[in-house]
A and B are shown apart, each in its own frame.
Chain A
Amino acid sequence: DSGVTQTPKHLITATGQRVTLRCSPRSGDLSVYWYQQSLDQGLQFLIQYYNGEERAKGNILERFSAQQFPDLHSELNLSSLELGDSALYFCASSVGAGEFEQYFGPGTRLTVT
């Protein structure tokens, strides 16, 4: 158990819908990262937040957005869902930014039908 929690574990929804994935980092960790794991694209970095502020952005679609709240939990919002958004979404956290190990949560499996 990495100490990073993600909810829900599984999510099934229809195309065009919007979902919110939630992540609680390890106690004391200030950075939260979101990754997407799909069959065709592999594991890809989406976005990072550090102490409430966006720190780095990767291959995140405009339909996706994220934020980190004052209690340091983070949410990833996915809207206008398409079949291709079906994937495993991981959240990871680290103490700081730049030179710290990232600990991964168990992931949220999103299925878009």
Chain B
Amino acid sequence: AQTVTQSQPEMSVQEAETVTLSCTYDTSENNYYLFWYKQPPSRQMILVIRQEAYKQQNATENRFSVNFQKAAKSFSLKISDSQLGDTAMYFCAFMKMNRDDKIIFGKGTRLHILP
């Protein structure tokens, strides 16, 4: 069974700083997706970034980038120039590329951006 582990329950950083959220996962699959979802106080689940396991290049979306280390089964999220609106719960998630396509979520990291 796949598992996703986020070792940082809570983090705080000053506005405009860079912050990295850690995530490790365990799977015997070779083809899969990894995601970072953001859940602000509104509770809406928002997809931040997605990485296909077969791609060596790390995904980037504006201020958000990942460091995907497939051999180490590590998938960290870097937020550059953090903004107050980045305050949220961040979930690392895994999905196999096949018929059984449920998303498996980590427990989340609560990120506070301080003014």
Which one, A56, A88, A107, contacts B101 given CB within 8 A? Answer: A56
Does A45 interact with chain B (Cβ within 8 Å)?
A: yes
CA distance A100 to B40 in the complex (A): 23
Determine if A90 and B45 form an interchain contact, defined as CB atoms under 8 angstroms apart: yes
Task: Name the residue of chain B whose CB is nearest to the CB of A106.
Answer: B44
Chain B at the A interface: SS class: loop
Interface size class of B (residues with CB under 8 A): 20 to 34
Residues in A neighbouring B33, C-beta threshold 8 A: 99
* Number of A-B residue pairs having CB atoms within 8 Å of each other in the complex: 53
Per-residue interface assignment for chain A, residues 101 to 112, with 1 indicating a CB less than 8 Å from any chain B CB and 0 otherwise: 111101101000
Please indicate which of the listed interface residues A31, A45, A56, A92 has the most CB atoms of chain B within 10 Å of its own CB.
Answer: A45
Determine if A56 and B97 form an interchain contact, defined as CB atoms under 8 angstroms apart: no
Determine if B102 and A101 form an interchain contact, defined as CB atoms under 8 angstroms apart: no
Determine if A99 and B99 form an interchain contact, defined as CB atoms under 8 angstroms apart: no
CA distance A48 to B95 in the complex (A): 13
Chain A to chain B contacts (Cβ below 8 Å), 19 pairs? A2-B44, A33-B102, A42-B105, A42-B107, A43-B105, A45-B102, A48-B102, A56-B99, A90-B45, A92-B103, A97-B101, A98-B99, A99-B33, A101-B47, A104-B37, A104-B46, A106-B42, A107-B44, A109-B43
